Chains A and B, each alone.
Chain A
Amino acid sequence: MVYTGPLSMKTRTLPMDKSQAKSRENDLAKLAGAGDFHAFSELAEIFKDRLHQFILCIIGPDREAEDLTQEAFIRIYKALPSFRGDCAFSTWAYAVTRNVCRGALRKRGREADILEDAGEERLARAADRAPLPGELLGRMETAAIVRTEIEALSPIHRTVIFLSCWEKLSYEEMARALDIPMGTVRSRLHNALAALSARLRKALPEENRS
């Protein structure tokens, strides 16, 4: 089989609302689960940056994040026949990716509890680094500052912020993706937003806070 690239790239350039996009993704997942190679390549094209970012949220800046993203996609490809479509494909894909990250962290001998409740407070404290010097931040774009401040959060906080703010997942979807109760999602998201807010208040110039 020779793969030359995604066939239906133009479908992604059409404006789609969130529910349409999810429906399209689930349709592609079903096709891919039935053995449609090109449907999977289209899914990979749609999700590659998102899964990569999710992995970065969990493991932090890491040169192996790209390899892990590939591993996650291969795991997803193999598991696709078991995807029943009773939730959004993205939620399911994040759950699979999360397990890949857990496995990778275990292999490295790092604590896989970075996604567990017990580790939240400790890791939040450990990640609470001092803001970057003011003169350096003055030269950075606002987006870069925000990214830097998000990276400085704990993995737990980065993950819920990504899933909620960027992916726009509901509490229920986040609970499925992270395999934690909805109440935990809610409190984690509050703590994460409060932590990011505190950091941005120190790091962002006054005029960029609106």
Chain B
Amino acid sequence: MKCLNDLEMTDLVSGNMPGPETAAAEEHLRDCAACRAGYSALSLAARSAAAASPAPLPEDFTVRLMARIAEEEAVHATSGAAMSSRPFVWKLSFAVCALMVLVAALLRLGGAPDSASFENIYLTDGPATQIRLTARTCSELPWQGAGPGEIYLSDSCRMAGCGL
């Protein structure tokens, strides 16, 4: 086997070299002083780093962490409940709006007295001077028996006493 390059040396030191290649590399190291020196240097660094234990956190770290998570969960649960009730509020609002539109539509269809269409009655049995009555209800008419609406009466009609 030829000498190991830097990356192959790193593969070997870090345990990332495939098994068969590792065996061949180790055999080569026994015979090659230059490769052995390179391997020893990297290996020392790797072993030293492996032996240096991580800086420990305080003993109560996990307890404090879990307390904070529980606290955040509680807040989340509260806001989650509000979120889950929101669709009901939306549905209720929609129902109220729909009801209001329906009532408005019904009122419009039923018609208010003032907005009713007026009948135009023309009673003309000959040349006459039309009298335009602007009264809209019977009670406003100057004579009895008149129906609602805009009414045009001629003099002859009035004299005939048709009842209006």
Give A residues with C-beta under 8 Å from B.
Answer: 1-6, 37, 40-41, 44-45, 48-50, 52-53, 56, 66, 69-70, 73-74, 77, 142-143, 146-147, 150, 161-162, 164-166, 168, 170-171, 186-187, 189-190, 193-194, 196-197, 200-201, 204, 209
Contacts and interface: CB of A to CB of B under 8 A. Distances in A.
Given A146-B48, A190-B6, A197 B65 contact: no
Nearest to A192: B45
Interface of B: 6-7, 9-11, 13-16, 41-42, 44-58, 61-70, 72-74
Contacts of B56: 49, 52
13 contacts: A1-B70, A3-B67, A6-B62, A37-B69, A44-B66, A48-B62, A161-B46, A165-B47, A170-B16, A171-B16, A194-B41, A194-B42, A194-B45
B66 A197 contact: no
A52 B64 contact: no
B61 A48 contact: yes
Contacts of B41: 194, 197, 201
Given A168-B15, A171-B16, A193-B46, A48 B57 contact: yes
B68 A146 contact: no
Nearest to A47: B62
B16 A74 contact: no
A4 B57 CA distance: 18
Contacts of A44: 61-62, 65-66
B44 A209 contact: yes
Nearest to B13: A193
Given A187-B7, A189-B10, 15 more contacts: A6-B62, A37-B69, A40-B69, A69-B61, A70-B64, A146-B52, A162-B49, A164-B14, A166-B50, A170-B16, A171-B16, A186-B7, A186-B11, A193-B13, A194-B45
Given A166-B49, A170-B16, A194-B42, A3 B66 contact: yes
A44 B70 CA distance: 14
Contacts of A6: 62
A49 B53 CA distance: 9
A166 B52 contact: yes
A5 B63 contact: yes
Given A49-B55, A70-B68, A164-B14, A197 B45 contact: yes
Contacts of A189: 10, 14
A133 B58 CA distance: 31
Given A70-B65, A168-B15, A197-B45, A186 B70 contact: no
Contacts of B10: 186, 189-190, 193
Contacts of A162: 49
Most central of A4, A48, A74 by chain B CB within 10 Å: A48
A142 to B, nearest CB: 8
Contacts of A37: 66, 69-70
B46 A164 contact: yes
A210 to B, nearest CB: 8
Nearest to A2: B70
B52 to A, nearest CB: 5
Contacts of A45: 62
| 8 residue pairs, one from A and one from B, having the closest CB atoms | A53-B54, A165-B49, A190-B10, A196-B45, A3-B66, A197-B45, A197-B41, A146-B48
A45 B60 CA distance: 10
Nearest to A189: B10
